[in-house]
Amino acid sequence: MLNLQGMMMSSASSADGVAMRDEPDEEDDEIDEIVACKRCERAWLAPEDWAQDGLAACWPALREKLLSEKLLRTSTPIAREDAAALTRARFAAEYEAKRRPCVVANRDAAREPLALAALLDEFGDLNWRVSDTHGQMVGLREWWAYARATDDDAPFGIYDAEFGDEGTPTARLAAAYDVPAFAAEDAFARAAAGPRPPWRWILMGGPRSGTGMHVDPLHTHAWVHLCEGRKRWLMLPPDTTAAALATVGVAEGRQLPSGQFFARHGDAAADLPGAVEFVQEAGELVYVPAGWTHAVLNLDATVAVTHNYATLTPACVEATAAEEPEFFIRLLRGFPPGAAPALDAYRTATPRPLAVPDVAALVLSFCDTQRCVEAAATSRAFVARLDAVFWAARLRADFGEAAHAAAAVFSSSLAAWRRRYLDAQEADAMEEAEIYGGLC
Ligand X SMILES: O=C(O)CCC(=O)C(=O)O
How far apart CA 271 and CA 111 sit, in angstroms, is 37
By CB under 6 A, residue 300 contacts ligand X? no
By CB under 6 A, residue 342 contacts ligand X? no
Which positions ≥6 away from 347 have C-beta within 8 Å?
371, 374, 375, 378
Q: Which amino acid is at 344?
A: D
* Radius of gyration in angstroms for the set of CA atoms belonging to the chain, rounded to a whole number: 26
By CB under 6 A, residue 231 contacts ligand X? yes
- Please state the closest distance from residue 233 (CB atom) to ligand X, in A: 8
- Please provide residue 134's backbone torsions phi and psi, each rounded to the nearest 5 degrees: -115, -15
- Please state the closest distance from residue 321 (CB atom) to ligand X, in A: 22
- Please state the closest distance from residue 220 (CB atom) to ligand X, in A: 9
- Please state the closest distance from residue 221 (CB atom) to ligand X, in A: 11
How far apart CA 392 and CA 397 sit, in angstroms, is 8
Output 29 or 160, the one with its CB closest to ligand X: 160
Which ranges of 68-210 would DSSP assign to H, the alpha helix? 88-91, 116-123, 140-149
Tell me which residues in 164-203 interact with ligand X (CB under 6 A).
203
Output 113 or 155, the one with its CB closest to ligand X: 155
By CB under 6 A, residue 306 contacts ligand X? yes
How far apart CA 212 and CA 209 sit, in angstroms, is 9
Residue span 199-228 as binding mask against ligand X, x where in contact by CB under 6 A, dash where not: ----x------xx----x-----x-x----
- Please state the closest distance from residue 306 (CB atom) to ligand X, in A: 5
- Please state the closest distance from residue 210 (CB atom) to ligand X, in A: 5
- Assign residue 291 a region (left: φ > 0; alpha: ψ between -120 and 50; beta: otherwise): left
User: With CB under 6 A, what is the number of residues at the site for ligand X?
Assistant: 11
Which positions ≥6 away from 72 have C-beta within 8 Å?
270, 277, 278, 279
Output 270 or 297, the one with its CB closest to ligand X: 297
Residue span 259-298 as binding mask against ligand X, x where in contact by CB under 6 A, dash where not: -----------------------------------x-x--
Q: How far is CA 262 from CA 21, 197, 249, in A?
A: 45, 29, 10
By CB under 6 A, residue 63 contacts ligand X? no
How far apart CA 399 and CA 407 sit, in angstroms, is 9
Output 215 or 422, the one with its CB closest to ligand X: 215
Site residues (vs ligand X, CB under 6 A): 203, 210-211, 216, 222, 224, 231, 294, 296, 304, 306
